[in-house]
Amino acid sequence: MVLSYCYRYTMVISVRDALASLRGIESDDIHGRQLISFLPHLLLSTSFSFISNLSFMGFIDVIKRWRLANKGMSSGKKRRTSTASENAVVGSMQRSVWIKLLIYPAFTALICLIVAFYRSDHTLFHVSGLRRGLLCIIVSAGLILIYHTRQTLNYANEKVALVFGGIAFHLVLVRIAIHIIDVNAWSADYRILLPPLAFAPMIASVLCGRHAGVFSALSVSLFGAMLVPVDDVFFFLITGLITGVVAVVLTRSVRRRGSLLRAGFYVGLTAFILALAFDKIDFSEMMQGNGLSVVLGKTLLPVSIGLLTGMLVSGLLPALESLFAITTNISWLELSDLNHKLLRKLQLEAPGTYHHSMVVATLAESAAEEVGANAAMCRVCSYFHDIGKLSKPEYFIENQGDRNPHDTLTPTMSAIVIIAHVKDGVDMAIKHKLNPKIVEVIREHHGDSLVQYFYHKAMEQRDDMAKKVEGGLENKEDIPEVDRKNFRYPGPCPSSRESAIISLADAVESASRSLKKPTPEKIRNLVNEIVMARVTDGQLDGSDLAMSDIKKICKSFASTIRSMMHSRINYPKEDGQNKKGSKSASRAEKKDKKEAVVEKVKA
């Protein structure tokens, strides 16, 4: 630290001397005001020294790792850490009010550029561009106020940019469609039938949720009404709102890209029915000269535009997900492929952990559906939550055979090996470029909970050693120190509902394996005991799970485990085998009766 400050001070002094030589004065004569005038140069030099300092400290870090590797105390490699998801600066920018205050005026200016400066005959306030501009500003301010004050729309800044950017792009498409109509001198009815009425609502609904979708439908309807003739304003508002809401309803839980095409078809069909209701399509025109082609075109156009909208949204989704760091249910479904390299490796090298992960996925998915969390995310993240055990699979009980490696280790060392699987899992996930949400779940699925078994084992060893010291068999210095912190996972605790559900499912599934002769009551008591222990330990404080949600999760866990651990009936055997079976059954009954008598005598 001292070296760091000396290095920075030297850089500033050297810059001061250089500036003094350029001005032709002595460096000691540079004081207050002159240094203030050189402030930009000093800031530049300070930033340069900071970057140089970082690289210098990084070089020292490399030397330290190299020395430890030569001594056999390190592998010489630096553990991977996640980047954007862990960066505090990025996290603060995602929730910064100042970023929102930059997005809102930029959106207003863009809307005025798209809508207010378009003036055509018979449109609203087409005579005065100033009035149209003021109207755009007023409507934009009202929508921004609604968006900013609604708790259901309290998204991070990247989603705010996505919602408002989608609205602006939607209006650009409407302007392009109207320009095509104006150039070809088509009927004014096409200003209603040609524009993609559900583009922004569909994008917002799939990526941000139904509330953002409805908000987008309202916004594009209000702004789009300024681009159509005054006589069609009401029809455009009604059509835009209804088709937008239909798109939101049909894309609320999309799991396949084909569902977007289906939603686009129904949006087009809705627009066609509304056009019929408002006499925009008149079948009586078919009897005129070229009326058949005109009516047929007006009939097919809204349906075709709806299908094209679905195709466009489907094609843009991967790019938008990558750009705004959002994962949809469609992507979660694609990530659930069990042929992933890590899952195949887990299946071959740690089959017990693989089976455990599959059961945890089933438990978490069922519980997530009960409380309205993202079930697809819970399933996929559960698949990968224990991939860190691939580093030392034989140290985990589900993968052990006759030999237990922990028998030769101290409890403290065993706890270190067990705890390390979290960091190893994060390292593997980042190496294989898994979704940041998966990395987050791997890091949080144990929270900062205690490794109970080895902690109690260490306490027992300490108590045994203390007894030996009292008996004069050992020295007092030989009593091992047991620090509770050494037996805790590094954390952090679950920060989302999905992460908390997976954490609970992991604990419940592991504990359920210890049940002997499971009954519904035993299973229910075990689930409630484990979940409430996590609650009282504060592991779920940051997960936004209410007590009503926790009750539903417990009920779901108990039901799922009960169905997994159900008993089987005894199938009848052949006659020859029945005699042997009856003899063995009678022997077993006699043995059970003897054991019952012995237990009564002991009691």
If 0-12 CB within 10 Å is exposed, 13-18 middle and 19+ buried, where does residue 137 land? middle
Give the integer Cα–Cα distance in Å for 108 and 148. 14
pLDDT at 226: 86
pLDDT one-digit tens code per residue, 458-508: 998 888 888 887 777 777 777 778 888 889 999 899 999 999 999 999 999
pLDDT band (50, 70, 90) for residue 48: very low
User: CA 471, CA 284: separation in Å to the nearest integer?
Assistant: 109
Calculate mean pLDDT across residues 69-84. 53
The 10s digit of each residue's pLDDT in 310-337 is: 999 999 999 999 888 888 888 998 899 9
* Tally of helices (H runs) and strands (E runs) in the chain: 24, 0
pLDDT at 528 over 60: yes
| pLDDT at residue 404, as a whole number | 87
Average pLDDT over residues 414-439: 93
| Lookup: tokens for 127 | 């005579």
Does residue 423 contact residue 491 with C-beta atoms inside 8 Å?
Answer: no
- In degrees to the nearest 10, what's the CA dihedral of 375, 548, 489, 420? -20
pLDDT at 256: 86
Per-residue pLDDT, 68: 60
> CA dihedral in degrees (235, 237, 238, 241; nearest 10)?
150
On the question of pLDDT at 343 being above 90, the answer is yes
Q: Is-cis flag, bond preceding 492, omega within 30?
A: yes
pLDDT tens track for 295-312: 888 888 999 999 999 999
The better pLDDT of the pair 321, 69 is held by 321
The CATH number of 341-451+488-564 is: 1.10.3210.10
pLDDT of residue 101: 82
Residue 39: what pLDDT? 42
Q: Token digits for 196? A: 């993609």
> Is there a contact between 438 and 381 (Cβ–Cβ < 8 Å)?
yes
Give 161-217 pLDDT, tens digit per residue. 899 999 999 999 998 988 888 888 888 778 888 889 899 999 999 998 889 999 999
Q: What angle do CA 492, 494, 500 make, to 5 degrees?
A: 155
pTM score of the predicted model: 0.74
Residue 96: CB partners within 8 Å, gap ≥ 6? 157
Question: Where do the H-state alpha helices sit in 251-290?
Answer: 258-277
Task: Show the tokens assigned to 583.
Answer: 């003899």
